[in-house]
Chain A
């Protein structure tokens, strides 16, 4: 009793919340298909990533690692590495260098365990004809299949998640399953997403992808080093997107697309560090951001080095 009175109002509210959650869980019993076991229950009742405490998160990660490793017959680690303090990630892409070779598209697929057959690509490379207007993007070609690139009279613009500071997708999500991390990366809790695809209609950059079917990844190509909010294998029926390779960048490494680019058109760094490459290009080069009129405030800067 005395213990109870010691609790802050917020704690008590949380208690009530827990109770209500339990009640709903009870009600939901009837909704789950017959034959669901305790294991399914744990899965079904898993809490929102940001609502779990350390102990709960540890348990969930252990379960997910076990589950995923079993499914893929491969040891898979799921990191929950937090954002590095005083870091806000920014990206630069040199449109005067990009040759449209799509190396980045497939490096991303491999690094981030995207579905192969039911193709999921986080990067879309658009081809434009030089001298034609390109504001409506409608004149662009996504399916170009020339033998060699860069083609005469063409230029290319890869588009991926722009990691907006003011992300419309986060506003749209009815369940708070997607949010902006302190280092500026917009992430999704794949265990919380209900798959309504409202975020996809809200995104002005076509950056979000839905798993229309169960992801298809060759077992031997599966990248076993994953992050909970990043490249761990996804489920059928959830939305996914570029996370600036959160599993790499939070360890100080560069995103896969930056590393693979054969012409060095891709730049990445900390926007809060005045000595970073990204800050240099912002202050020394002609920079633009896609659909800036929408006020989404992207952290993805297209620039022209020459």
Chain B
């Protein structure tokens, strides 16, 4: 009798535990999957990065030339690069590593995915960008939207926009006159 009672108790406990753990295990599985595939919620179509990249790939030169990791004034090479992007506490190798971009955790990403790097600091902007709010999309408002990536508009070394020349101001009402042809 007692045995039977024990048996049913154990059975119900096991059943309860299974009932509880089953969905939880699915949750874990889901989260793991997300972590493995960060591209899932990312836009699919991009405008390729703009601007010349005459120094790319880095290995073109650095295969033979050792890398000087010291923070200094650049006089021989890369002189066109002006770093105005939290420059006080940053240097080339915070973001560059070999022919790849380097994330703060040391992980390397390809050059055509700059948003993965920029998004590391600019999280809210990255979120907005993915939603199509920050930056620019072109093409269609429905279906296949084409996204500009960060570096299509911003110079990563000096991301603040330069001033541009505005288009002509409109005519004043007194300047709009009958043109007889």
Residue positions of A touching B, CB distance < 8 A: 92, 94, 99-103, 105-106, 117-119, 121, 124, 142-150, 212-213, 216, 249, 252-254, 258-259, 261-264, 267-270, 273, 276-277, 280-281, 284-285, 305
B170 touches A249 (CB 8 A): no
B114 interface contact, C-beta 8 A: no
Asked, given contacts A149-B163, A213-B178, A277-B132, whether A264 binds B143 with beta carbons under 8 Å apart, the answer is no
B141: chain A residues within 8 A (beta carbon): 249, 252-254, 268-270, 276
Q: In whole angstroms, how far apart are the Cα atoms of A263 and B160 in the complex?
A: 11
B169 interface contact, C-beta 8 A: yes
- Give which listed residue, A146, A150, A305, contacts B134 with CB less than 8 A: A305
Interface contact tally, CB-CB below 8 A: 103
- Give which listed residue, A103, A216, A264, contacts B167 with CB less than 8 A: A103
A99: chain B residues within 8 A (beta carbon): 161, 163-164
Asked, given contacts A254-B141, A270-B141, A277-B132, whether A118 binds B179 with beta carbons under 8 Å apart, the answer is yes
Determine how close the nearest CB of chain A comes to the CB of B128; give it in whole angstroms: 6
- Give which listed residue, A146, A252, A280, contacts B140 with CB less than 8 A: A252
Q: In whole angstroms, how far apart are the Cα atoms of A105 and B138 in the complex?
A: 18
- Interface of B, helix, strand, loop or mixed by DSSP: loop
Total chain B interface residues with beta-carbon distance under 8 A: 30
- Interface of A, helix, strand, loop or mixed by DSSP: loop
B140 touches A102 (CB 8 A): no
A264 touches B135 (CB 8 A): yes
B165 interface contact, C-beta 8 A: yes
B128: chain A residues within 8 A (beta carbon): 284, 305
B139 touches A253 (CB 8 A): yes
B179: chain A residues within 8 A (beta carbon): 117-118, 213, 216
Residue positions of B touching A, CB distance < 8 A: 128, 131-143, 148, 153, 161, 163-172, 176, 178-179
A119: chain B residues within 8 A (beta carbon): 170-171, 176
Determine how close the nearest CB of chain B comes to the CB of A301; give it in whole angstroms: 12
Determine how close the nearest CB of chain A comes to the CB of B142; give it in whole angstroms: 5
A305 touches B133 (CB 8 A): yes
Asked, given contacts A118-B179, A264-B148, whether A253 binds B140 with beta carbons under 8 Å apart, the answer is yes
Q: In whole angstroms, how far apart are the Cα atoms of A94 and B168 in the complex?
A: 22
Residue of B nearest to A146 (CB): B166
A267 touches B170 (CB 8 A): no
A149 touches B170 (CB 8 A): no
The 10 closest A-B pairs by CB, nearest first: A264-B136, A148-B163, A102-B167, A277-B132, A280-B131, A149-B166, A143-B169, A145-B169, A119-B171, A252-B140
- Give which listed residue, A117, A145, A270, contacts B142 with CB less than 8 A: A270
6 A-B pairs whose Cβ atoms sit less than 8 Å apart in the complex:
A99-B163, A101-B164, A106-B167, A142-B170, A148-B166, A277-B132
Asked, given contacts A101-B166, A106-B167, whether A143 binds B161 with beta carbons under 8 Å apart, the answer is no
A100: chain B residues within 8 A (beta carbon): 166
- Give which listed residue, B167, B172, B176, contacts A143 with CB less than 8 A: B172
Determine how close the nearest CB of chain A comes to the CB of B103; give it in whole angstroms: 24
Q: In whole angstroms, how far apart are the Cα atoms of A124 and B137 in the complex?
A: 23
A105: chain B residues within 8 A (beta carbon): 167, 170
Asked, given contacts A100-B166, A149-B164, whether A281 binds B171 with beta carbons under 8 Å apart, the answer is no
B131: chain A residues within 8 A (beta carbon): 277, 280-281, 284
Residue of A nearest to B131 (CB): A280
Q: In whole angstroms, how far apart are the Cα atoms of A273 and B128 in the complex?
A: 17
A264 touches B153 (CB 8 A): yes
Determine how close the nearest CB of chain B comes to the CB of A139; give it in whole angstroms: 17
B142 touches A252 (CB 8 A): yes
Determine how close the nearest CB of chain B comes to the CB of A280; give it in whole angstroms: 4
B164 touches A148 (CB 8 A): yes
Asked, given contacts A254-B141, A280-B132, whether A118 binds B176 with beta carbons under 8 Å apart, the answer is yes
A102: chain B residues within 8 A (beta carbon): 166-169
